[in-house]
A = this chain, B = another copy of it.
């Protein structure tokens, strides 16, 4: 497996492969790889010839008050996982290489980004959209894979690719969960044992919401009540938002006709968790 730091070297490596009609896959990550990333990498491995995993804790998607400094970094283990899974190249640029002096371009997807995560993290998705556009420029992958866990991020990237006519196929893969349902996340390490014990109630609430929709509930408010009832049982949990939304625009639905995504964010102690499920109301 190659380890590549410089964007120019990464571009050159990919360009040579592309000339040979090699299909290039990309899994963009911030490192601290867990089983969710492994599943993305395995799904990518099946679908491309040359597989790049980028590892970059992107500073522009963190607000000054957020956890950029403490975000888990485990480069040695990350590389080992990549090697294990047959990754061809780890792209590990530094911030100075991606954002040199004079850098200033911003890519934003303002409508999809304005709600939910965008509300509590106002510049987050512009940071995400810009770095993804940069990675797509550097690597020019045929295929890029993202985890459903960051559903709003997936929606932002999908819109960006469409709007800028980027020639990359996107694949959103299902969230990988612990056995008790907690969505895998690099930030789960920050949960205390007690917080970790109650955290799975988040997914239980989402599943209850999904089940209510599947059974025919049309009113998003009622779905929310179902979910809040599940969460109320745990006093250490504070809901940030729970929303029943259109799966592409992420606008809250007035009425559930068929497809919806339930997006949620909550705090367990000091740790903020996000999760989501897709739901389909069955016609009867």
Contact = CB atoms under 8 A, between A and B. Distances in A.
A134 B105 contact: no
A235 interface: no
A109 interface: yes
A233 interface: no
Nearest to A109: B105
A64 interface: no
Contact of A249 (B102, B111, B129, B140): B102
Contact of A108 (B103, B106, B248): B106
A109 B104 CA distance: 6
Nearest to A105: B163
Interface string A91-110: 00000000000111111111
Interface stretch (A48-56, A164-172, A275-283): A164-172
Nearest to A7: B165
Interface in A157-200: 159-160, 163-167
A95 B152 CA distance: 27
A33 interface: no
Given A108-B108, A109-B104, A112-B104, A137 B165 contact: yes
A11 interface: yes
B165 A138 contact: yes
A95 to B, nearest CB: 14
A107 B107 contact: yes
A260 to B, nearest CB: 18
Q: How large is the interface on A (under 10, 10 to 19, 20 to 34, 35 or more residues)?
A: 20 to 34
A139 to B, nearest CB: 9
A105 B133 CA distance: 11
Interface in A22-68: none
A164 B167 CA distance: 14
A60 to B, nearest CB: 12
A164 B107 contact: yes
Contacts of A15: 167
B110 A107 contact: no
A107 B106 contact: yes
A159 B102 contact: yes
B140 A104 contact: no
Given A106-B106, A107-B164, 14 more contacts: A7-B165, A11-B165, A11-B167, A104-B109, A104-B110, A104-B112, A105-B108, A105-B164, A107-B107, A108-B108, A133-B164, A134-B165, A137-B166, A137-B167
